[in-house]
A = this chain, B = another copy of it.
Amino acid sequence: MFASVFENVRKKCPLIHNITNYVTVNDCANIVLACGASPIMADDIEEAEEITSLCGGLNINIGTLNSRTVRSMLAAGKKANELHHPAVLDPVGAGASKLRTETAKRLISEVKFHVIRGNISEIKVLASGSGTTQGVDADVADRVTEENLGEAAAFAKAFAAETGAVIAITGAIDIVADSERAFCIRNGHPMMSSITGTGCQLSAMTAAFVTANPEHPLEAAAAAVCAMGLAGETAFSRLTDMDGNSTYRNYIIDAIFRMTPEELEKGAKYEVR
């Protein structure tokens, strides 16, 4: 059903409010446009709720956060909940500083997110100390591999059950899970980690996909993860031996722009556990 999920993004052109970091914000805006949605970036408390109300969905990314923007994240998140708009959280760097860990945890406790997307370390940090996931947590290493995939999927499901959010853990193998089902996704290319912000871009695009498919957040998030990975594959196949990570960044966004719903359906590599 990924084709119809993607078609909905292109048909509905959802407007996405992004409160995000200044490192990758331009790429986030361009990938949201590439997939067929429209971005608005606005981080001031004086307009955060109003912009959230104007949009169909919200993407909160805590990279380069500060006390001014954290207030706006909380206000926008609560407003999105009030309006039943999908909200996505990207807990960039959770675990790297108390400010990031505590902000991410506070956001999760005060705002209901439809999707939380991070790497395995970030997600583990968010789950640590919480009742249901503690046991699972301890068993999952810092990388999702074929060996620990079963445990990692169980961990993602447990954390999804606890938070009520779809949990997307991205890495060499991606896991996108609600409390009952986990999509294990094998799209992508290792060179994607040589670009700043592929994760941020994916979170912004996930907000677009979920906003256009509010009845199917799990499938929408999984489709966005597959689309990003497939774009990484398509873009890699275009690289010459002179091209590096900067051209690769451009080609990934280009690949999303050119991708058809049918190509996504056909190119998506996943199993459901």
Q: Contacts of A24 on B, CB cut-off 8 Å?
A: 26, 29
Q: Contacts of A33 on B, CB cut-off 8 Å?
A: 194-196, 245
Q: Is the CB of A21 within 8 A of B44?
A: no
Q: Say whether A42 faces chain B, with CB atoms less than 8 Å apart.
A: yes
Q: Contacts of A242 on B, CB cut-off 8 Å?
A: 234, 238, 251, 254-255, 258
Q: Say whether A93 faces chain B, with CB atoms less than 8 Å apart.
A: yes
With A241-B258, A247-B250 already in contact, the answer to whether A27 and B30 are too (CB < 8 A) is: no
Residues of A229-250 at the interface with B, using a CB-CB cut-off of 8 Å, are 234, 238, 241-247, 249-250
Q: Is the CB of B44 within 8 A of A66?
A: yes
Q: Say whether A39 faces chain B, with CB atoms less than 8 Å apart.
A: yes
Residues of A53-75 at the interface with B, using a CB-CB cut-off of 8 Å, are 54, 63-68
Mostly helix, strand, loop or mixed at chain A's interface?
A: helix
Instruction: Indicate the size class of the contact surface on chain A.
Output: 35 or more
Q: Is the CB of B99 within 8 A of A47?
A: yes
Q: Contacts of A26 on B, CB cut-off 8 Å?
A: 23-24, 26-27, 196-197
Q: Say whether A98 faces chain B, with CB atoms less than 8 Å apart.
A: yes
With A40-B96, A44-B66, A96-B51 already in contact, the answer to whether A244 and B249 are too (CB < 8 A) is: no
| Nearest CB on B from A13, distance (A) | 11
Binding site for B on A (CB under 8 A): 21-27, 29-30, 33-34, 39-44, 46-47, 50-51, 54, 63-68, 93, 96-100, 194-197, 234, 238, 241-247, 249-258
